[in-house]
């Protein structure tokens, strides 16, 4: 029953490159190599910024990212000194970043610039990455834990780098909102339905006087809000993405929601019947769980505020020889509802996962 976490689906916004920290979403802002160095870490990694070697141009700042047994070191070199009104600017000098985009035209890449904001204790609390096409703000708790990434497109446009167009359109029906991705180049155009996270909540809004649409969903331990802005007619383009990461805290099991692993369970003394549920909410063919997979209703020691009292947890224990692994599922509507995978591991800290789950917005939590 356990399936891979597909996260947010990897919307493609432009030419090759990733501005992000290797987090869910795969948004593409035309920055080959730059910014994706943080993929070694993610929100459950530990970030450590050293003391700058000075304040003049040429001074360096070293960042160390530790995730499990993997460590990545990034060296930033100051390229512009701070003034009374502007922060010092840095560029990455190690590891070496690509200087061309890898296409047949081998277009040169303008490297992004970095600036840092330190808190009262002197540790880095905010990192800003700026390019010609976008800015990204990374927020750290205590200078060590990544808590939020905000990416803002400088000039949202339907026009792509090759002169084509790339837009999204939205249709709301009785079964929810359908997202259509539209592409055109010259006389050729195509459209296809974009897979939508089952936890996605859509809302119409405005940015200034321009119509906009927001899409908020959860996957892994990340709550992501995508804002689309209208360009013409029913066409929209992405203007920003804001991803907030739920901290693991003292829990021994990290929240890891897989919105694509959903099912209904009928647990009896003679075995468990599983009815898989697809992204649109349609039930698939039921089957009886293998004898090596056992299911049981489990409860946290206390239900945290923010978690529906009717909610129900089911733990699947998978036995393979002498090895066992567990998967935790949650249903906000109780035992008769649809369960979604929310964590997995060799053992499950149900109370710890419940405390993390309670931080998910109620509008999304109700869809689990």
pLDDT tens-place string over residues 9-34: 333 333 223 333 333 333 333 333 33
pLDDT under 50: residue ranges of the chain? 2-40
Residue 16 has what pLDDT?
28
Evaluate whether residue 197 is within a structural domain: yes
Domain extent at residue 224: 165-245
Do 142 and 177 fall within a single domain?
A: no
Do 316 and 354 fall within a single domain?
A: yes
Could you report the per-residue pLDDT of 282-339, keeping only the tens digit for each?
889 999 998 889 999 999 998 888 888 788 999 999 988 889 999 999 998 887 889 9
CB atoms within 10 A of CB 73: 15
Do 284 and 351 fall within a single domain?
A: yes
Residue finishing a domain among 117, 151, 185: 151
Do 276 and 222 fall within a single domain?
A: no
d(CA 178, CA 353): 31
d(CA 349, CA 315): 11
DSSP structure class, residue 109 = P
Total number of domains constituting the chain: 3
d(CA 249, CA 315): 21
341, 343, 340: which is closest to 367 by C-alpha? 340
d(CA 150, CA 158): 21
Residue 270 has what pLDDT?
86
């Amino acid at each position: 029953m356990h399936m891979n976490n597909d996260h947010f689906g990897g919307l493609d916004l432009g030419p090759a490159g990733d501005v992000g920290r290797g987090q869910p979403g795969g948004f593409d802002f035309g920055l080959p190599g730059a910014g994706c160095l943080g993929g070694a870490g993610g929100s459950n990694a530990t970030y450590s910024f050293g003391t700058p070697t000075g304040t003049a141009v040429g001074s360096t700042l070293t960042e160390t990212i530790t995730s499990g047994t993997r460590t990545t070191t990034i060296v930033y070199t100051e390229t512009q000194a701070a003034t009374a009104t502007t922060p010092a600017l840095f560029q990455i000098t190690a590891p070496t970043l690509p200087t061309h985009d890898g296409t047949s035209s081998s277009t040169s890449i303008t490297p992004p610039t970095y600036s840092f904001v330190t808190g009262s204790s002197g540790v880095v609390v905010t990192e800003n990455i700026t390019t010609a096409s976008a800015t990204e703000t990374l927020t750290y708790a205590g200078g060590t834990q990544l808590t939020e990434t905000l990416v803002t497109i400088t000039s949202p446009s339907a026009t792509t780098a090759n002169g084509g167009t790339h837009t999204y359109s939205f249709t709301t029906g009785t079964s929810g909102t359908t997202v259509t991705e539209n592409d055109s180049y010259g006389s050729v155009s195509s459209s296809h339905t974009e897979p939508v996270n089952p936890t996605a909540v859509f809302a119409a809004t405005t940015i200034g006087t321009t119509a906009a649409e927001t899409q908020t969903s959860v996957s892994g331990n990340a709550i992501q809000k995508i804002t689309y802005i209208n360009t013409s007619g029913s066409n929209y383009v992405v203007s920003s993405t804001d991803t907030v990461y739920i901290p693991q805290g003292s829990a021994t099991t990290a929240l890891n929601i897989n919105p694509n692993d959903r099912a209904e369970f009928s647990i009896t003394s003679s075995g468990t019947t599983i009815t898989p549920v697809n992204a649109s909410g349609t039930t698939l063919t039921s089957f009886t769980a293998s004898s090596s997979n056992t299911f049981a209703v489990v409860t946290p020691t206390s239900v945290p505020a923010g978690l529906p009292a009717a909610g129900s947890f089911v733990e699947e224990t998978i036995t393979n020889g002498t090895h066992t692994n567990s998967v935790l599922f949650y249903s906000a509507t109780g035992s008769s509802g649809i369960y979604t995978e929310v964590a997995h591991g060799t053992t499950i800290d149900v109370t710890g996962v419940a405390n993390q789950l309670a931080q998910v917005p109620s509008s999304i939590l109700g869809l689990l």
